[in-house]
Chains A and B, each alone.
Chain A
Amino acid sequence: MKPVTKKTTFACRKSHSEPGPGDGGRTGSWRVKRPVIDPEKCIPAKRNKPACFTCWLFCPDGVISRTIPPAIDYEYCKGCEICAEECPAGAITMVDETLFIIEEKQEEK
Chain B
Amino acid sequence: MHIIESGNVAAASGVKLAKVQVIAAYPITPQTPLTEKLSEFVDSGEMDAQYIPVESEHSALAVCIAASSAGTRAFTATSANGLLYMHEQLQWAAGARLPIVMCVVNRGIGAPWTVWNDHQDSISQRDTGWIQLYCCDHQQIIDTVLQAFYLAETVSVPVMVCYDGYILSHTYMPFDIPEQTDVDRFLPPFSPAYALDPKQPANLNTVTLPDVRPDVRGDVAPGYMEIRHNLHMDMRAAITVAADIDRKFEDIFGRGGNPFIEPYRCDDADFVAICLGSLSYHLRDVVDILREEGIPVGVMGLRLYRPFPNQAVRNALSSRKAVIVFEKALSYGNQGALYGDIKSALYTADNRPIVHNYILGLGGREIKTHHLEKALRESCTAPDAIGDTPVWIGLKM
Which A residues are closer than 8 A to B by beta carbons?
Answer: 1, 3-6, 8, 10-26
**CB distance A17 to B215 under 8 Å?**
yes
Q: State the Cβ distance, B94 to closest chain A Cβ, in Å.
A: 11
**CB distance A14 to B209 under 8 Å?**
no
Contact residues in B for A15 (Cβ distance below 8 Å): 95-96, 204-206, 208, 222, 227
Which of A12, A25, A26 is the one whose CB lies under 8 Å from B230? A12
CB closest residue in chain B, given A5: B194
A86 to B86, CA, bound (A): 40
> Which chain B residues (169-219) contact chain A, with CB distance < 8 Å?
191, 193-194, 200-209, 213-217
Q: State the Cβ distance, B347 to closest chain A Cβ, in Å.
A: 29
14 A-B pairs within 8 Å (CB atoms) are namely A4-B193, A6-B194, A10-B234, A11-B230, A13-B222, A14-B194, A15-B95, A15-B208, A17-B206, A18-B217, A22-B215, A23-B203, A25-B209, A25-B213
Contact residues in B for A18 (Cβ distance below 8 Å): 202-203, 215-217
**Is B251 in contact with chain A by the CB < 8 A criterion?**
no
**CB distance A24 to B193 under 8 Å?**
no
CB closest residue in chain B, given A3: B202
Q: State the Cβ distance, A13 to closest chain B Cβ, in Å.
A: 4
Which B residues are closer than 8 A to A by beta carbons?
Answer: 95-97, 154-157, 191, 193-194, 200-209, 213-217, 221-222, 226-227, 230, 234, 237
A14 to B157, CA, bound (A): 11
Contact residues in A for B194 (Cβ distance below 8 Å): 3-6, 14, 16
A59 to B206, CA, bound (A): 19
A27 to B39, CA, bound (A): 48
CB closest residue in chain A, given B237: A10
Known: A11-B155, A22-B215, A22-B216. 8 other contacts (CB 8 A): A3-B203, A5-B194, A13-B222, A13-B230, A15-B222, A17-B221, A20-B216, A22-B213
**CB distance B206 to A24 under 8 Å?**
yes
A1 to B197, CA, bound (A): 12
**CB distance B193 to A23 under 8 Å?**
no
**CB distance B201 to A8 under 8 Å?**
no
Which of B154, B204, B205, B226 is the one whose CB lies under 8 Å from A10? B154
Given A5-B193, A6-B193, A11-B230: A17 touches B214 (CB 8 Å cut-off)? no
Contact residues in B for A12 (Cβ distance below 8 Å): 230
Contact residues in A for B95 (Cβ distance below 8 Å): 15
Contact residues in B for A17 (Cβ distance below 8 Å): 202-203, 206, 215-216, 221
